[in-house]
């Protein structure tokens, strides 16, 4: 049980909001204080359990901001509702840690933080791709261990990706941004699979291909695969950008890994359980030229046995969204969701949330996942509709 005292801001505020982790920046806090909230923040860096969060909610709590690492299920939404709760926001765009039906049953609007993680996450996927391809972490460790004795023709030979084929599984906003970075920066062809076609991606690559051709360069191409297997078989590097649900759990397993090229690269900056980590460790051991870059893990914070010893794996601790702009933006959106619901504002009903990061944000909640189910009014230029 965490025994550290929670940090209290604006102790005279009439509305009590608990925040389960310290958040970056100050504007998120200013938003809640402007909504007359007493804000109580956990200083602990440990993942709080359900009992600890329920104890923090107590007998009176109007709102909460929680983390992707916490299980916001029936027990917590029941506790929040009994305490008078009227708003919860995840400090994340993903919400597979949330029982949205339970929140709706208890009348709790649930927010998330979309629109500020796209480029940041895509950049990390690019970084992992090239760190794996060019064996950056292996070479760094080798050098720091004092083993470098001079240049050698065979020292840490990796894979060049310029002009090769990148595979995207999940061509939503982040997958699209990643594809653009790889196409524009490295002239890669794209093969993608998504349950929905992405004509914007296809049109962009086609237009860029025509531009390259007009300059006398080899054009690039993009096509949607018939299934995941075709992407795995075709691509020189594959990046995963899917949501986590029953259909994507262990999407990458022993059978699917066997479809990939022996020198392929696999990158995951989406959700850890998309990959069967034990199968991945076994595949990497048997195929030393196969490389992987991981930002997320199946059973965070634990790694599958053997993963950390693999020389052909680049692993980082779930930091894909860890840029100053993105993390502060997430905090602003999470606070705006809670403050807006407590002040009786409507829910924003359009994909562009950039207005909330400016100096004159709309009087609305940026993203309420169950707004329709709860009958939360939607925002118009004049207020609610």
Q: Which residues are catalytic?
A: 271, 300, 318
Q: Whole-angstrom Cα distance, residue 381 to residue 385?
A: 9
For 158-184, give one letter per residue: b (16+ CB within 10 A) or e. bbebeebbbbbbbbbbbbbbbbbbbbe
- CA atoms 61, 341, 7, 318: torsion sign: positive
Strand pairing partners for 263?
A: none
Residue 284 CA: distances (Å) to CA of 101, 126, 359: 39, 20, 49
**Tokens describing residue 60:** 């009176």
- HEC assignment per residue over the chain: CCCCCCEEECCCCCEEEEECCCCCCCHHHHHHHHCCEEEEECCCCCCCCHHHHHHHHCCCCCEEEECCCCCECHHHHHHHHHCCCCEEEECCCCCCCECHHHHHHCCCCEECCCCCCHHHHHHHHHHHHHHHHCCHHHHHHHHHCCCCCCCCCCCCCCCCCCCCEEEEECCCHHHHHHHHHHHHHHCCEEEEECCCCCHHHHHHHHHHHHHHHHCCCCCCCEEECCCHHHHHHHCCEEEECCCCCCCCCCCECHHHHHHCCCCCEEEECCCHHHECHHHHHHHHHHCCCCEEEECCCCECCECCCCCCCCCCEEECCCCCCCCHHHHHHHHHHHHHHHHHHHCCCCECCCCCCHHHHCCCCCCCECCECCHHHHCCCEEECCEEC
């Amino acid at each position: 049980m965490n025994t550290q005292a929670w940090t209290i801001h604006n102790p005279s505020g009439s509305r009590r909001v608990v925040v389960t982790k310290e958040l970056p920046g100050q504007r998120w806090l200013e938003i809640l204080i402007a909504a007359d909230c007493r804000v109580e923040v956990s200083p602990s860096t440990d993942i709080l359990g359900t009992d600890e969060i329920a104890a923090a909610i107590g007998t009176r709590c109007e709102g909460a901001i929680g983390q992707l690492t916490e299980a916001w299920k029936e027990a917590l939404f029941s506790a929040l509702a009994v305490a008078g709760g009227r708003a919860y926001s995840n400090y994340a765009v993903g919400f597979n840690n949330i029982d949205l039906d339970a929140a709706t049953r208890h009348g709790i609007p649930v927010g998330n933080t979309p629109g500020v993680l796209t480029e940041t996450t895509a950049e990390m996927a690019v970084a992992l791709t090239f760190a794996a391809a060019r064996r950056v972490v292996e070479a760094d460790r080798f050098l720091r261990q004092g083993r470098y004795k001079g240049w050698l023709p065979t020292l840490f030979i990796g894979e060049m990706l310029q002009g090769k084929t990148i595979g995207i599984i999940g061509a939503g906003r982040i997958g699209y941004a990643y594809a653009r970075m790889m196409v524009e920066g490295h002239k890669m062809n794209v093969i993608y699979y998504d349950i929905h076609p992405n004509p914007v991606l296809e049109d962009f690559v086609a237009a860029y291909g025509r531009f390259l051709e007009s300059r006398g360069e080899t054009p690039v191409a993009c096509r949607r695969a018939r299934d995941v297997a075709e992407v795995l078989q075709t691509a020189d590097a594959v990046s995963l950008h899917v949501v986590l649900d029953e259909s994507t759990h262990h999407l990458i397993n022993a059978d699917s890994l066997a479809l990939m090229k022996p020198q392929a690269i696999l990158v995951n900056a989406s959700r850890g359980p998309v990959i069967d980590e034990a199968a991945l460790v076994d595949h990497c051991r048997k195929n030393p030229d196969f490389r992987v870059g991981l930002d997320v893990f199946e059973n965070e914070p634990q790694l599958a046995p053997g993963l950390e010893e693999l020389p052909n794996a680049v692993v980082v601790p779930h930091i894909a969204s860890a840029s100053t702009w993105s993390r502060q933006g997430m905090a602003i959106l999470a606070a705006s969701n809670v403050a807006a619901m407590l002040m009786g504002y409507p829910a924003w009903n359009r994909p562009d949330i950039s207005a909330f990061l400016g100096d004159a944000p709309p009087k609305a909640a940026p993203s309420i996942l169950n707004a329709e189910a709860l009958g939360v009014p939607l925002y118009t230029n004049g207020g609610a509709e």
